[in-house]
């Protein structure tokens, strides 16, 4: 049975190999078409990668001259960041300021007395206030920890509480406001008031507020001159040379008290100096007499006017110290100098910093050309709210006090953004030290943006070199490639060799980065700030081939020096408005952006190339599909014909065998 064969399935003539050999010849056009398809796909991918490289290079170039360019970024540097830090926006102006942080803003933070570890807070409707905002908590009773957690959840962004284990058997609770400023006092109402008193958070306080009546001015250290002191409802004005005192009777202990008032010091218009000597005496015309037609006129008077000597200019006195605190013994202590101001300024003074007891506010105006006016003068305890004061405060609410260029300002927060345009001041702690705050360009950010632009420029140049030249050294010279990128680059060497688009792009890029650019009255080149091809090997007399590929190199030290010493020139070198129409029209970055734009814009050069490759790839795929169908039909035809041939041969063999058998029988 081993010699049985089925045509088309098994063959003792090895027709299968014959068909395969014939089909190999038939497949040659199809294999060539597939190779052409792969080449087209590889070229399309290469152009797509070039497109992405150009897009990246364009974005980083455009970033150096667009509205959001890094040259407009600003930073604020403080001479002591332990006292003051600051953040600047692009709107900030380059400038230097002198600031003194006299007081930082704080919030109320009250500590209770020692409570037993098993202490329970009674049920009730608890109400807390922080300034003009309120927190209501309906508590069903529970432990101190449960009460603190419930209050913190309810308090949101204005109030929180926490429990401190003082010992194994005792604990305390701290309740704190999350809003700074003297107007954001922590208050207790309803069940909260009774509980705060019982737990030792607060205690009853008799109001210590005193309003100093401006209408009851008294002599200060000299007799009161009513012509120089003008009292009006709620205010007191003291003219040049005048002085007065607003008394407090009886005197107050200054412990915990604050004096607050509104002050305005205005400059008077000085009278003009005499332009010349005064006119002499006015003398009437001389008399005359007429007799018989004859008139006789008297001689005119000839007074002797002494020579005129200009009067000496009035003595000018400038004394910004105009406010004084007095104690019960009659001793006076001056307050800080008050600057000129067209508007009233709020002045707040902690009395205990100056005196042990307080008997009044003295105003002495020694200035010859200024008026001093005070109003709304009051003494109060800042920790007192609604007849309560903290028994053991960890901190009390107060405003921040800052002196900017000698002008004192008060804010209720430590983050102040309305003093210097575009700058937010962050107060860290109070200090007598004068802090120098310098607002300047963010040179480091500008440097990083320039380095990023050069990096993307070099990556694009590397892609162009690799695709247009078949030289393995081009890949070996690039140290930043990963192993995968190196393999891909090696496979693409010379893939687009001779393409005029790439050659034109490379030439244009090199021309823009080497040509001088206008920066005002003169022109500069990138080499001036440490960016160049640096092809020459300094002093060696030779050259380095790897530095003749069109890549840019950066001397970071030279670039840093240029940004530090001539920042405006560096900015203009990358983008500059030459005609004053507020639109950048020159510079390296502007030129590169203009060069890249037609390549990557919608319907641009690379989009047209990609569509062309899409058409060619589609056509080649159609051709391969046609060849595949033809090959299938050809192979089927060969199998059919060889199957018929094998059948015929087998029939002939059977006939031959039959004849041979017949002959043998006849012989027998």
Q: Are 439 and 93 in contact (CB under 8 A)?
A: yes
**d(C-alpha 534, C-alpha 80), whole Å:** 42
The span from the CA of 667 to the CA of 664, in Å, is 5
Q: How far apart are CA 306 and CA 552, in angstroms?
A: 86
Number of residues that this document lists for the chain: 668
Cβ count within 10 A of residue 640: 12
Which of helix, strand or coil describes residue 228? Answer: coil
Alpha-helix runs per DSSP H in 469-499: 473-476, 483-491
Question: Is the preceding omega at residue 214 within 30 degrees of 0, hence cis?
Answer: no
Alpha-carbon distance of 315 to 313, in angstroms, equals: 6
Which residue's structure tokens are 């010091």?
Answer: 265
Helix (H) or strand (E) holding 100: strand 95-103
Backbone angles phi, psi at 2, to 5 degrees: -70, -20
Nearest CA-CA partner of 374 in 387, 388, 364: 364
Other CB atoms closer than 10 Å to residue 299's CB: what's the count?
6
Q: How far apart are CA 202 and CA 557, in angstroms?
A: 63
Per the rule left: phi > 0, alpha: psi between -120 and 50, beta: everything else, 508 is alpha
Instruction: Render pLDDT for 508-530 as a digit per residue (tens, 0 to 9).
Output: 999 999 999 998 888 899 999 99
What φ, ψ does residue 196 adopt, rounded to 5°? -65, -40
User: From the CB of residue 119, how many other CB atoms can be counted at a distance below 10 Å?
Assistant: 17
- Rounded to an integer, what distance in angstroms lies between the CA atom of residue 441 and that of residue 398? 35
Q: How far apart are CA 548 and CA 314, in angstroms?
A: 79
The DSSP code for 529 is: G
Give the integer Cα–Cα distance in Å for 438 and 420: 11
Q: Can you count the helices (H) and strands (E) in the chain?
A: 11, 36
Whole-structure pTM value: 0.69
pLDDT for the residue 662: 81
C-alpha distances out from residue 93 to 84, 365, 445, Å: 19, 37, 17
pLDDT attached to residue 548 = 65
Structure tokens at 252: 């107050």
The pLDDT assigned to 126 comes to: 95
Backbone torsions φ then ψ of 328, nearest 5 degrees: -65, -25
- pLDDT reported for residue 284: 72
Task: Output the CA–CA distances (angstroms, integers) from residue 316 to 222, 280, 336, 367, 387, in the order listed.
Answer: 21, 30, 21, 8, 50
Question: 556-565 and 443-468 are packed helices; what angle lies between their axes, rounded to 10 degrees?
Answer: 140
CA 469, distance to chain mean position in Å, is 45
Phi, psi of 163 (to 5 degrees): -100, 135
The Cα-based distances of 414 to 78, 85, 179 in angstroms read: 15, 11, 11
Q: Is 337 in contact with 320 (CB distance < 8 Å)?
A: yes
Smallest CA-to-CA distance from 174 within 204, 147, 209, 136 is with 147
Phi/psi at 93 (5° precision): -95, 145
SS3 state at 307 = coil
Distance between CA atoms of 271 and 134, rounded to whole angstroms? Answer: 56
- The CB density around residue 345, as the number of other CB atoms within 10 Å, is 16
Query: Long-range contacts of range 603-606, CB-CB < 8 Å, 24 or more positions apart?
Result: 605/501, 606/47, 606/50, 606/51, 606/54
Burial 127-147 (b: 16+ CB within 10 A, else e): bbbbbeeebebebeeeebeeb
DSSP 189-226: EEHHHHHHHHHTSEEE-----EE--GGG-B-SSS---T
What is the spatial distance between Cα 215 and Cα 226, in angstroms, rounded to a whole number? 12
Any residues with CB less than 8 A from the CB of 206 and at least 6 apart, and which? none
Give the pLDDT confidence score for residue 547 in this predicted structure: 61
C-beta neighbour count of 118 within 10 angstroms:
9
Q: In this structure, which long-range contacts are made by residues 503-512, counting pairs with CB atoms below 8 Å and at least 24 apart in sequence?
A: 503/468, 505/464, 505/595, 505/599, 506/461, 506/464, 506/465, 506/468, 506/550, 508/595, 509/457, 509/460, 509/461, 509/550, 509/592, 509/595, 510/550, 512/588, 512/591, 512/592, 512/595
| Distance, CA of 19 to chain centre | 75
| Residue ranges, the chain, pLDDT below 70 | 1-13, 206-208, 270-276, 280, 314, 534-548, 668
- Token pair, residue 73, equals 């970024």
Q: Which residue is it, tokens 């002495």?
A: 364
């Amino acid at each position: 049975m081993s010699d049985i064969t089925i045509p088309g399935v098994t063959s003792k003539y090895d027709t299968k190999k014959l068909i395969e050999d014939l089909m190999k010849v038939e497949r040659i056009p199809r294999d060539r078409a597939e190779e052409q398809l792969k080449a087209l796909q590889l070229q399309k991918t290469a152009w797509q990668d070039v497109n992405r490289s150009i897009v990246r290079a364009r974005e980083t170039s455009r970033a150096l001259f667009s509205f959001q360019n890094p040259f407009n970024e600003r930073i604020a540097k403080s001479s002591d960041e332990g006292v003051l830090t600051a953040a600047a926006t692009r709107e900030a102006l380059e400038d230097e300021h002198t600031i003194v942080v006299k007081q930082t803003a704080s919030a109320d933070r009250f500590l209770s007395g020692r409570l037993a570890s098993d202490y329970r807070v009674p049920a009730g409707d608890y109400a807390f206030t922080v300034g003009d905002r309120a927190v209501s908590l309906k508590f069903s009773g529970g432990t101190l920890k449960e009460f603190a957690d419930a209050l913190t959840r309810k308090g949101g962004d204005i109030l929180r509480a926490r429990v401190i284990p003082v010992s194994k058997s005792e604990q305390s609770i701290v309740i704190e406001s999350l809003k700074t400023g003297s107007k954001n006092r922590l208050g207790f109402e309803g069940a909260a008031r009774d509980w705060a008193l019982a737990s030792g958070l607060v205690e009853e306080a008799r109001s210590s507020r005193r309003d100093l009546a401006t209408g009851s001015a008294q002599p200060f250290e000299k007799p009161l001159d009513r012509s120089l002191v003008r009292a009006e409802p709620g205010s007191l004005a003291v003219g040049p040379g005048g002085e007065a005192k607003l008394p407090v009777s009886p005197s107050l202990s200054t412990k915990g008290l604050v004096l607050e008032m509104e002050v305005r010091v205005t400059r008077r218009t000085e009278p003009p100096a005499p332009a010349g000597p005064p006119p002499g005496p006015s003398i009437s015309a001389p008399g005359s007499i007429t007799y018989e037609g004859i008139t006789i006129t008297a001689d005119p008077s000839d007074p002797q006017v002494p020579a005129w000597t200009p009067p000496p200019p009035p003595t000018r006195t400038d004394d910004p110290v105009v406010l004084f605190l007095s104690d019960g013994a009659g001793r006076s202590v001056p307050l800080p100098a008050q600057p000129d101001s067209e508007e009233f300024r709020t002045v707040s003074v902690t009395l205990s910093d100056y005196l042990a007891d307080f008997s009044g506010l003295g105003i002495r105006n020694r200035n010859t050309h200024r008026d001093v006016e005070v109003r709304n003068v009051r003494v109060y305890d800042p920790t007192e709210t609604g007849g309560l004061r903290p028994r053991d405060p960890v901190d009390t609410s107060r405003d921040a006090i800052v002196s900017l260029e000698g002008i004192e300002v008060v804010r209720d927060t430590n983050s102040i953004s309305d003093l210097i345009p575009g700058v937010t001041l962050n107060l860290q702690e109070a200090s007598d030290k004068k802090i120098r705050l310098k607002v300047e360009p963010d040179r480091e950010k500008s440097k990083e943006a320039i380095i990023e632009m050069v990096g993307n420029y070099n990556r694009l140049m590397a892609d162009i070199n690799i695709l247009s030249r078949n030289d393995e050294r081009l890949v070996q010279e690039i140290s930043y490639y990963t192993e995968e990128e190196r393999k891909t680059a090696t496979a693409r060497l010379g893939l687009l060799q001779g393409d005029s688009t790439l050659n034109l792009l490379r030439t244009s890029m090199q021309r823009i980065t080497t040509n001088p650019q206008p920066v005002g009255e003169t022109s500069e080149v990138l080499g001036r700030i440490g960016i160049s091809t640096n092809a020459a090997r300094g002093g060696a007399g030779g050259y380095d081939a790897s530095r003749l590929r069109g890549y840019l190199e950066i001397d970071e030290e030279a670039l840093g020096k240029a940004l530090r010493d001539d920042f405006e020139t560096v900015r203009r070198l990358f983008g500059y408005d030459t005609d004053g129409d507020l639109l950048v029209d020159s510079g390296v970055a502007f030129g590169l952006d203009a060069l890249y734009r037609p390549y990557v814009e919608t319907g641009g050069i690379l989009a047209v190339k990609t569509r062309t490759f899409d058409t060619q790839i589609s056509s080649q795929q159609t051709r391969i599909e046609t060849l595949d169908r033809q090959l299938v039909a050809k192979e089927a035809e060969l199998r059919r014909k060889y199957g018929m041939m094998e059948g015929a041969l087998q029939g002939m063999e059977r006939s031959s065998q039959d004849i041979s058998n017949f002959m043998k029988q006849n012989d027998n």
